[in-house]
Amino acid sequence: MQLEAFLEKKEIIDHEAVRDFLGTLWYPLYFLDFETFTWPVPPFDGLKPYQQVPFQYYLHYVEHEGAELQHHEYLARPNIDPRTDLAEKLVNEIPVTACVLAYNAGFEKGRLGELAAFLPQHKEKIDLILENTRDLMIPFRKRHVYHWEMKGLASQKAVLPVLVPELSYKGMEVGHGGEAMDAYAAMSQIEDAGELQRIRNALLEYCGLDTLGMVRILERLREMTEEILNN
């Protein structure tokens, strides 16, 4: 999307504020998204009622400017407490020097904090990840970038269709967090290997689009500032 096309609808871009936000990021840059389940009766020891338990994450990452986009992924097997395996894989895949970007990062930071409390052996690394986590929602929540089609919202589901219309959740078997939680719960009742793989693929596709969407949104923000500097 060109800057001129965005401005034709007389929407808001605070270029200085966007540049300031981009200046808080660095490489290697990791884009993190969790999917969670929550149940009124805790299914595993050490859980509270309705506690959000991460069962899946997706990481897109770029090691340095101009590097190829790569990814890691994790999706727990059904009917297990996923926290230990998930945390151990995550802390081994995110370098302690990385900038971690999440959308509405308070959610991911909350889950990381809970994992650190549950698994003290990983607390040091998780605390460093927490310290280095930044929130891609900030430019939109603060209205540094705003378009009327966002309908007053700053969520990724509101921003993505406007800034990155070529990416869409429409037609996906899993298209939002509630469906992801239901799909993971359904896996615990399924024995057919083919059906399990189909659901796994749908969950991986959904969570992967969440982080890919963050990658593309960040690219649009950079394009906005670069076009102004070049004019």
CA distance 196 to 165: 31
What is the pLDDT at residue 7? 47
Question: What phi-psi label fits residue 23: left (phi over 0), alpha (psi between -120 and 50 degrees) or beta?
Answer: alpha
- Dump pLDDT digits (tens) for 177-216: 999 999 999 998 998 999 999 999 999 999 999 999 999 9
CATH code linked to domain 3-230: 3.30.420
CA distance 113 to 197: 31
**CA proximity to 209, closest of 111, 107, 73, 83:** 73
Question: Taking 50 as the threshold, does the pLDDT of residue 155 lie above it?
Answer: yes
- Dump pLDDT digits (tens) for 73-86: 999 999 999 999 99
- Dump pLDDT digits (tens) for 102-147: 999 999 999 999 999 999 999 999 999 999 999 999 999 999 999 9
pTM over 0.75: yes
The better pLDDT of the pair 6, 158 is held by 158
Q: 146 pairs with which residues across the strands?
A: 12
* The two structure tokens encoding residue 26: 């660095």
Question: Taking 60 as the threshold, does the pLDDT of residue 8 lie above it?
Answer: no
Question: Taking 80 as the threshold, does the pLDDT of residue 19 lie above it?
Answer: yes
Give the chain's mean pLDDT. Answer: 93
pLDDT band of 3, cuts 50, 70, 90 = low
Question: Considering just the CA atoms, what is the radius of gyration of the chain in Å?
Answer: 19
Cα separation of the two ends of the chain: 16
- Dump pLDDT digits (tens) for 42-59: 889 889 999 999 999 999
What is the pLDDT at residue 164? 96
**CA proximity to 113, closest of 125, 126, 97:** 126
Cα–Cα distance list, 49 to 56, 177, 196 (Å): 20, 19, 27
Which amino acid type is present at position 98?
Answer: A
The residues spanned by each domain of the chain are 3-230
The better pLDDT of the pair 202, 2 is held by 202
What is the pLDDT at residue 1? 46
pLDDT band of 230, cuts 50, 70, 90 = low
